Amino acid sequence: MQRQPVTQATVSRRYLLEWGLPLLLILLYWGTRLPALTALPLHNDEGLHLTRAVEVWNMHPFWEISDGKIINHWLIALFYPQHEPVFIGRIATILIGTLGLAAGYTLARRLVGHPAGILAMLLWIASPYLFFYERLAFSDAEAGGLAVLAMLATLHLTRYMSIRRAVLAGIALATAVLFKFTAAPFALSVALIVLTLGKATPRQRMTALLVIGLTGAAMFAIPLAYLLLRGAGLFTIALGWIGGGDGVGSGPAANLERFAALMTGFGSPLGALLVGLGLVGLPLMRRHESLILLAAGLMPFALTTLLGREVLPRHFAATFPLLIVLAGAGLGALSQKSSPRARRVSMAAVAGALALGFIPYMTDSFSMPESAAIPAEVRDEHINHHSAGYALRDAVLDIPVHVPEGDVQIIASMFPDSCRRANFEAIRPLMCTDAPGTGMIESALNANGLVYVLADTAPLIGADVPVLANALNANATAVATYFRPGDAADAPSVVLWRISADGPG
């Protein structure tokens, strides 16, 4: 059969498909992640990351890093979080997600072809689970995006073994782990790829692994030295989640159950079903490279599930992005046996089906995130309980209306992290102390005769202010009440109290 001549129009169309469409999907990614970015109130951990970012400006780049989040706050600090902290903290995650999305497209395209890369991007963009966590100032989704980049760099290394490429792979892997220790299992994935893919000699493979290890060690040297010099534990908090565990809800079975709830609890489960289909389809290629990469992708997920004493919902965001990329490659492989026309129709059908399931959830999240479909465990953490910012954000924005005295202290009777988080959105800053803060309340009352107290979830966390005021022979008045979703009408989570030293009223 006579080959058709390659014309300028053919070349332009190919470049449009290979570069224009991925760029368009990156813009779509931003169009789904950026709107109403501050709609959900700050979570406690987001406040912690913002606090660390501010400490970078105070010359404390490794402030409180024992939880295994070592440099994730540096990117937030780069954009000066003292101004618009909620938006800046969360857009940092979107930036890393964009990098991971582009790397995922490239990896799937190299593995199967251009359609596979597009399918991987579509699955990523329309994943309600990733959508939720990529719009928060959390580090697990960031580590997941960087892990995809590390896998791409490692695959690039196996095409031609060199010291420079090994250093780049080591930098990518170490950066992912420095963002969050939940990316640490990807070290085994890198080792598997280096040892099994490509045509290098055993000596070249071992040299590459040594260079990757030394690069990672060099990048960890400074934070480790910092912890040793301060006499702090070496990431004891981060390593505490590893092990069998005796608590309720711990262990592999509970972790798998939690993951299943996450895949089905964020709106439509269609995207999760397509991911499963793609992962099943990838081995059907019967190619050594695809099987190795599938094993490399499943290994971190399996280790997290099996070793995690209690894997939190956000922890899966470190391993799930690579699985989505591999699923896109698998769907692309399944479509290879069809005609070009049928392949285009199937891709359009996948895109349409994903949109039908994802768009309603996305729009609900933009307008009323507390009403969007969210798994029960995530709802408790981000909406109903004290770790969420509901009620507390309303309170700190409302305080100037209820506190006319300009110089009176407003003491936060809550966990310190909650107070620091609230101050990122407060018009008048709160005085932070350890919960319930009765000592600071008493001192302020004795010094000034008047103090305001913002109590969170009393008496479990904050002070039982009426009881405290009675013990101090003072008068306590509930100035304003604030409710979280799910609060009973007579049980507000957050209460602003006015305490005056003029005896019980």
Q: DSSP letters of 306-360?
A: HHBSS--GGGGGGTHHHHHHHHHHHHHHHHTTS-HHHHHHHHHHHHHHHHHHHHH
Residue 20's pLDDT is what?
A: 86
Are 255 and 285 contained in the same domain? yes
Compute the mean pLDDT over every residue in the chain, rounded to the nearest whole number.
90
Residue at 101 is within a domain: yes
Q: Which residues contact 479 (CB under 8 A, 6 or more apart)?
A: 402, 403, 452, 496, 497, 498
Residue at 80 is within a domain: yes
Residue at 64 is within a domain: yes
Residue at 3 is within a domain: no
Are 367 and 426 contained in the same domain? no
End of a domain among 376, 399, 425? 376
Residue at 231 is within a domain: yes
Percent of the chain having pLDDT more than 90?
A: 74
Are 352 and 400 contained in the same domain? no
Average pLDDT over residues 131-143: 96
Evaluate the CA torsion angle 457, 461, 462, 468 in order and state its sign.
Answer: positive
End of a domain among 317, 343, 376? 376
Residue at 5 is within a domain: no
| Tokens coding 153 | 């760099």
Are 236 and 108 contained in the same domain? yes
Average pLDDT over residues 249-274: 87
pLDDT digits (tens, 9 = 90+) for 168-184: 999 999 999 999 989 99
Are 121 and 253 contained in the same domain? yes
pLDDT digits (tens, 9 = 90+) for 69-84: 899 999 999 999 999 9
Are 125 and 167 contained in the same domain? yes
Residue at 6 is within a domain: no
What's the N-to-C CA distance of the chain in angstroms?
98
- Which of 262, 245, 237 lies closest to 312, judged by CA? 262
Are 411 and 300 contained in the same domain? no
- Which of 149, 153, 177, 192 lies closest to 322, judged by CA? 149
Are 302 and 408 contained in the same domain? no
Are 448 and 333 contained in the same domain? no
| Tokens coding 449 | 């005769």
End of a domain among 354, 376, 398? 376
Residue at 22 is within a domain: no
**C-alpha–C-alpha distance, residues 76 and 464, integer Å:** 37
Are 321 and 400 contained in the same domain? no
| CB-based contact 364:383 (threshold 8 Å) | no
- Which of 262, 266, 268, 298 lies closest to 280, judged by CA? 298
Query: Hunting for tokens 């934070």 — which residue is that?
Result: 223
β-pairing verdict for 410-413 and 450-456: parallel
Number of structural domains in the chain: 2
Residue 393's pLDDT is what?
A: 94
Give me the domain span that covers residue 425: 385-500
Are 372 and 416 contained in the same domain? no
β-pairing verdict for 494-500 and 410-413: unpaired
Please, what is the angle between helix 340-367 and helix 114-125, to 10°? 20
Are 156 and 223 contained in the same domain? yes
Give burial (CB, 10 Å; 0-12/13-18/19+) of 358.
buried
Assess whether pLDDT exceeds 70 at residue 242: no
